[in-house]
């Protein structure tokens, strides 16, 4: 998994805790517009929160991508935006998503503006790219958790395309603002919801689920384990010494 900075549901309470919000296309086309009603959008297609169809996760449990420490910066494809490349394997398809994500806005930014784009490695050039706004309908600043209530939004059930990884195997996530209130600065801090119903963060359902789950496991490449760091070795010695002390006290 490669994490880098780069130029890339509140329906009825019994079903989903969604609300209504805007599609990125509406906001990007008219910078004076804030708000709308699209939960998911892909090209000309958009699905409103109240119309979305959900299902229980199938087969293997979905892969969980953590949103702790993820920030939403600027408009689509801005160089400041966080882009995540997940190697899910060539031809593997993202078929649905669920979420348990918290958002804390900065300044005048709205909760409904933080957007997650799913695509192949071509990013916004992918004609099947799908944009998701978990805070849809919360058209105000704030700090709130959002959940799909343990459900998966299956793209095909909602007239949306699957996201198929190309020969490089990359599923790309770009986090951006539908309306950029703070140019070249963070508009929203994102995190895993405090009490996840399905996944801490973003749940990914794929045609090859095992490959998707493997892609979100372990440390990102940008955070290598400091095996040879003297500080890490010193910390390890302290931990081992502490364990030794505990063992001596326990068996004394």
Mean pLDDT across 241-248? 36
Q: Model-level pTM?
A: 0.76
224: pLDDT strictly greater than 50: no
Question: Which SS3 state, helix, strand or coil, does residue 233 take?
Answer: helix
pLDDT at 251 exceeding the cut of 50: no
Find the range with the poorest average confidence among 57-66, 105-114, 129-138, 242-251: 242-251
Structure confidence at residue 29 (pLDDT): 34
Q: Give the sheet arrangement for strand 82-87, strand by strand.
A: 2-5, 82-87, 170-177, 114-119, 130-132, 38-42, 45-48
CB distance 160 to 154 below 8 Å: no
- All residues at 6 or more sequence positions from 82 whose CB lies less than 8 Å from its CB, including other chains: 3, 4, 5, 6, 70, 71, 72, 73, 174, 175
- Summarize pLDDT for 2-57 with one digit per residue, the tens: 554 443 333 333 234 333 333 333 333 334 456 666 899 998 889 988 899 999 99
Distance between CA 32 and CA 13 in Å, rounded? 32
- Say what the pLDDT of residue 1 is: 54
Percent of the chain with pLDDT over 90: 65
Centroid of chain to Cα 248: 46
Distances (CA, A) of 99 to 27, 66, 68, 222, 237: 23, 10, 13, 24, 39
Token readout for 229 is: 């760091």
**Mean pLDDT, rounded, for 126-151:** 96
**Residue 181: is its pLDDT beyond 70?**
yes
Alpha helices in the chain (DSSP H): 24-29, 209-215, 230-251
Distance CA 249, CA 239 (A): 15
Q: Give how far the C-alpha of residue 145 lies from the chain's centroid of Cα atoms, to the nearest Å.
A: 13
From CA 239, how far away is CA 80, in angstroms rounded? 38
Question: Could you tell me whether strands 2-5 and 38-42 are parallel, antiparallel, or unpaired per DSSP bridges?
Answer: unpaired
């Amino acid at each position: 998994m490669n994490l880098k900075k780069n130029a890339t549901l509140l329906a009825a309470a019994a079903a989903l805790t969604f609300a209504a919000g805007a599609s990125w296309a509406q906001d990007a086309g008219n910078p004076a517009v804030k708000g709308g009603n699209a939960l998911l959008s892909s090209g000309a297609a958009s699905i409103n929160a109240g119309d979305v169809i959900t299902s229980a996760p199938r087969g293997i449990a979905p892969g969980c991508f953590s949103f702790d420490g993820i920030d939403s910066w600027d408009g689509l494809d801005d160089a400041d935006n966080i882009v995540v490349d997940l190697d899910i394997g060539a031809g593997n398809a993202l078929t649905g998503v669920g979420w348990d994500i918290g958002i804390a806005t900065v300044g005048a930014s709205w909760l409904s503006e933080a957007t997650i784009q799913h695509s192949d490695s071509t990013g916004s050039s992918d004609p099947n790219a799908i944009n998701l706004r978990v805070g849809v309908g919360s058209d105000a600043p704030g700090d709130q958790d959002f959940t799909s209530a343990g459900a998966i939004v299956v793209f095909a059930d909602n007239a949306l395309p699957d996201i198929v990884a190309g020969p490089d195997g990359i599923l790309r996530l770009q986090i951006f603002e539908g309306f950029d209130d703070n140019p070249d600065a963070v508009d929203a801090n994102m995190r895993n919801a405090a009490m996840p119903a399905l996944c801490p963060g973003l749940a990914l359902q794929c045609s090859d689920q095992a490959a998707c789950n493997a892609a979100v496991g372990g440390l990102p490449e940008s955070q290598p384990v400091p095996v040879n760091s003297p500080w890490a070795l010193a910390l390890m010695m302290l931990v081992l010494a502490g364990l030794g002390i505990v063992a001596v006290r326990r068996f004394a």
